[in-house]
Amino acid sequence: MAERNLDFDKVIDRRGTRSLKYDFAKRRGMPEDVLPLWVADMDFKTSSYIEDALIERAKHGIFGYSEVQTPYFEAIRAWMKKHHDWEVQEKWLVKTPGVVFALAMAVKAYTKPGDGVLIQSPVYYPFSGVIEDNGRKVVSNTLVLGEDNRYHIDFDDFEKKITEKKIKLFFLCSPHNPVGRVWTREELTKLGDICVKHHVIVVSDEIHQDFVFQRKHLVFANLKKEYEDISIVCTSPSKTFNLASLMMSNIFIPNRDLKHKFRKELDAAGTSQLGVMGLVACEAAYSKGEEWYQAMLSYVADNIAFTKRYVEKNLQGVRMAEHEGTYLVWLDFRGTGLSTEELERRMVYGAKLWLDSGKIFGESGSGFQRINVACPRSVLSEALDRIKKAIQE
């Protein structure tokens, strides 16, 4: 049967589906009727091949403990090879119920309470959450917004922070949420060489690896043999195929000792097998989802271009950071002259929009808003019109 879920213009009512994005505004302190473009899931139906695989499995009616067999790994292997030119080995794989969970396990496995863990703010806020909640300290090698409207890495500061704060663990976000960078080979190599030199373990969160628009995504561990030895690469079909609530991610740890330590933390946390639906969905996604993925990616790319044109033409004082990857667009409102509080008020109560306020990604995100453009174009257009009105108020 052919792929059926290719109409990305279709507005699908997600209310009343236990959706975090749509059903919890009031409980999270937002007006009931806000239009949500915050949390990173898509308003598109996933591939019909995944839908069908889940329905078929559900009809079996027995949901006992489950594990994967060779076809699961084969599907991942083929995807990583085709899309990222990366040869993964089955013995590297550890499955976890999500990438944030894996980040937390890495903190426990590779650092001690009180240690610093390095991040690059502004960055996906659970990075600092899992560090602080586990009694470690956040150290930021803060990204620098250049004249070219792209974020850059201050490599001197990166190395200085590592030596001064005795860093043993670094969380790389690649592609970077929220600033939309897809790191170049040169950038990744500079980072990697510094980490190798100072024996820093790199957790490379590559959950957005399939959303790259201008250049190829490079898997950190795949760049040099030495990097493979210090890497924990976090992947998942959850962003690519909109499966976040199925709670499955594939973590690759080529170094045996690092893998052993990681596994021990999983055991200590009491986790073993994942839910069968997530496993079924992952296998179907990577083995049958190509057509849907390509069509979705092209739609999202057009939404990004649409947003860029709109911002340039209609949103005075707002700049969109040069966008290379992810479906999360980073808008700089500082040129509007509005204070962070006033900007916030106008977005939520004026525009009736639920975006992610930039400051939750770190102090350097103040004055920015992150907008999720993985939605039908009509919804995106409505949201941008509302922003325009709200800043002209």
Applying CB under 6 A, the residues found at the interface with ligand PLP are 40, 98-100, 124, 173, 177, 205, 207, 236, 238, 244, 249
* Closer residue to ligand PLP, CB minimum distance, 73 or 125: 125
Q: How far is the CB of 374 from ligand PLP (least distance, A)?
A: 11
Using the CB atoms, write b or e for 204-227: b if 16+ within 10 Å: bbbbbbbbbbeeebbbbbbbeeeb
Instruction: Please report, for residues 35, 216, 227, 331, 375, the alpha-carbon distance to residue 372 in angstroms, rounded to integers and kept in the order given.
Output: 11, 21, 32, 11, 8
Q: How far is the CB of 39 from ligand PLP (least distance, A)?
A: 7
Q: How far is the CB of 122 from ligand PLP (least distance, A)?
A: 12
Q: How far is the CB of 26 from ligand PLP (least distance, A)?
A: 22
Q: How far is the CB of 103 from ligand PLP (least distance, A)?
A: 7
Residue number closest to ligand PLP, CB atom: 98
* All residues at 6 or more sequence positions from 312 whose CB lies less than 8 Å from its CB, including other chains: 320
Q: How far is the CB of 244 from ligand PLP (least distance, A)?
A: 5
* Closer residue to ligand PLP, CB minimum distance, 99 or 311: 99
* Closer residue to ligand PLP, CB minimum distance, 99 or 390: 99
In angstroms, the CA 265 to CA 286 distance is 28
Q: How far is the CB of 253 from ligand PLP (least distance, A)?
A: 16
95 strand-pairing partners? 250
* Closer residue to ligand PLP, CB minimum distance, 124 or 299: 124
In angstroms, the CA 1 to CA 280 distance is 18
* Closer residue to ligand PLP, CB minimum distance, 98 or 365: 98
Q: Count CB atoms within 10 A of the CB of residue 160.
A: 12
* Closer residue to ligand PLP, CB minimum distance, 139 or 234: 234
Q: Where does residue 197 fall: left (phi above 0), alpha (psi -120 to 50 degrees), or beta otherwise?
A: alpha
Q: How far is the CB of 100 from ligand PLP (least distance, A)?
A: 3
* Closer residue to ligand PLP, CB minimum distance, 163 or 273: 273
In angstroms, the CA 181 to CA 174 distance is 8
Q: How far is the CB of 38 from ligand PLP (least distance, A)?
A: 10
DSSP 222: G
Residue type, 113: P
Contact call for residues 286 and 75 (beta carbons, < 8 A): yes
Contact call for residues 113 and 134 (beta carbons, < 8 A): yes
Is 333 in a helix, a strand, or coil? coil
* Closer residue to ligand PLP, CB minimum distance, 124 or 241: 124
* Closer residue to ligand PLP, CB minimum distance, 328 or 391: 328
Residue type, 171: F
In angstroms, the CA 36 to CA 383 distance is 9
DSSP 347: I
